[in-house]
Structure 1
């Protein structure tokens, strides 16, 4: 339960965020640039932090269902998947977006997953939280590798299983780069007479990092980092006197349960992540300049004057046909 100190901290953050926005000197811009070829860590959590994707007693069915939806939409929108793991109440998926299709990819993936999961659980409410998107990017090879490690070791970090490979839900742990796995159409949701294929395949694509390493060497480097992170978590668990939940208790976890930890409210969803604050500041400065250009172009458009929006403009280009500058580097 949130204490008065937590509530006061949330109120302070809200006021700070409002003051920061008022000091920008231009109308608020909710849009964000979508560039072709960018790497992202997609993060999405369930409404109310409910365990709507708890593996339960039939984890293979859930893993096949998520794999099918992910594979189908990745192929449809040309998204390259580098790692993915679906926890009970959220998921992390690391991708490269070659054709600037991140928005429709996420919309379709999360939409079909939500509708199917509701159908399977016999519920009718929202599945996903209404929080702002949290799709962070990394600027260096080392940090991109650690992003993959974070994704794959999330069940260990949460104290659910001792080793990442034991997670019974959907995960790409153990997949080699270039490996392809096939998933069958879930007959409990999709119509056999519909247009969804009976089988779809997902190939784990090597991220564009460490070009001096071949696929096997990069996979070995990733698995070594995963192992080191797991052992680090084990040491932390022992110091705190904690135990892992284990597969038996995990199988009994109900989807209606919610996370018990206290969550900070009114935080800003990050768009960039790096160990160096200087790198983050550089990326944020680029975002602010993009927002200024976008706000200026929007003002011209509303005034009925010719306007060219900055590269990366997505919604107005797709649905309103505005002019957009050339692709940013």
Structure 2
């Protein structure tokens, strides 16, 4: 049984979803880019999710978002379904698109964590040895200069989506929002922090490729590989699936965050035991989503802090 997860309105996350068996189904071409931007724009608007950064690799997808209304599971279900069904049509693919493992959901609890994870997302094509600089990647992505002030646009894909259905508008726009706690006055400083971290990751990736005697594949080759092939680079077993991130040099923030996770899980399990015993008046801890949504359980609505200040 999976661990219970707190779904808190206003929380910011790094989201990662992988393609089945590392097939290159999301190979960066115009059709997939159009589908992804359109599906993400429609899904984000439907569920009030703010998108801060994204990068679509051939085998997986990274997003950094803020779940304003506390409906992250609904958003993920809707978005991933559109992407899967649209991809099956575009690629003439039979069977599942997404890996059997659940979406990786990492809550970002400090501004340092947001900076580091956005840079990590943008640097993915460089770290994978595909392009020398993140801005060269031909897949759907966000550039540093667009953070908090740009927007992505897409017309409705002709594959899968019914033009007669009013929910599939002819065009969709995905505004790129600033993360919580960052206003327009310090937006440029925030972008500079991300740019500096991105440069560090790019330099690190270049040094690693040189150490191994390898070369970057290049954007043109990456966009022409067969989507039915599978990635051949080594990838270790994903033994860890972190719940949260606080960033480097954040004092006791990690300990504080871990204590909060343990407290939520303990409170949830205690409430669940009473529920199973037939006590329907039991109060589940704030952030309980599944029991409230599917069983009508009562949930504590006391607002908890979204961010942890470093100490």
**Pair in the same fold by TM > 0.5:** yes
The structure 2 residue matched to 1:323, chosen from 269, 274, 298, is 298
Deviation at 1:210, TM superposition (A): 5.2
Measure how far apart 1:328 and its partner are.
4.0
Provide the C-alpha distance between the structure 1 equivalents of 2:195 and 2:179, rounded to a whole number of angstroms.
15
Separation in structure 2 between the aligned mates of residue 311 and residue 282 of structure 1, nearest angstrom: 17
- What do you get for the CA RMSD once the two structures are aligned? 2.1
* DSSP 3-state at the match of 1:137: strand
Per-residue deviation, 1:327: 3.5
8 Å Cα contact 1:29-1:294 kept in structure 2: no
Deviation at 1:216, TM superposition (A): 3.3
> Helix, strand or coil: the match of 2:204?
helix
Asked if 1:299 corresponds to 2:270, the answer is no
Unaligned runs of 5+ in 2: 305-311
The TM-score, its normalising length taken from structure 1, stands at 0.84
SS of residue matched to 2:278: coil
The question of 1:139 aligning with 2:109 is answered yes
Match of 1:36 among 3, 6, 9: 9
Whether the 8 Å CA contact 1:43–1:135 is kept in 2: the answer is yes
Q: In structure 1, how many angstroms separate the alpha carbons of the residues matched to 2:83 and 2:292?
A: 27
Task: Output the CA distance in 2 between the equivalents of 1:140 and 1:298.
Answer: 30
Larger Rg: 1
Structure 1 residues 42 and 289, CA gap change in structure 2 (3 angstroms): same
Structure 1 residues 129, 227: closer, same or farther in 2, change over 3 A?
A: same
The one of 7, 15, 18 aligned to 1:45: 18
Match of 2:64 in 1: 94
Task: Describe the shift of the 1:132–1:327 C-alpha distance in structure 2 as closer, same or farther (beyond 3 A).
Answer: farther
Q: CA deviation at 1:162?
A: 1.0
Tell me, in whole angstroms, the C-alpha distance in 2 between the residues paired with 1:242 and 1:263. 17
Write the distance in 2 (CA, Å) between the matches of 1:169 and 1:304. Answer: 51
Match of residue 246 from structure 1: 218
Contact kept? 2:48, 2:69, Cα under 8 Å: yes
Structure 1 76/299 Cα, relative in aligned 2: closer, same or farther at 3 Å? same
Q: d(CA) in 1 for partners of 2:146 and 2:14?
A: 18
The Cα offsets for residues 192-216 of structure 1, whole Å up to 9 and x where unpaired, read as 2122100111110011245595333
Q: Runs (4+) of structure 1 moved beyond 6 Å?
A: none
Matched, 1:70 2:40: yes
Query: CA, structure 1 residues 327+118, in 2 after alignment: closer, same or farther (shift >3 Å)?
Result: farther
**Deviations 1:250-277 (Å, cap 9, x if unpaired)?**
1331112222244443613111124369
Q: Which structure 1 residue ranges, 5 or more long, are not aligned?
A: 1-27
1:41 and 1:95 in contact (8 A); partners too: yes
Name the SS for the 1:80 alignment partner: strand
Aligned residues: 299
Alignment check: 8 A CA contact 1:118 1:124 kept = yes
1:233-289 deviation per Cα after TM superposition (whole angstroms, max 9, x unaligned) = 223322322100012321331112222244443613111124369533432332222
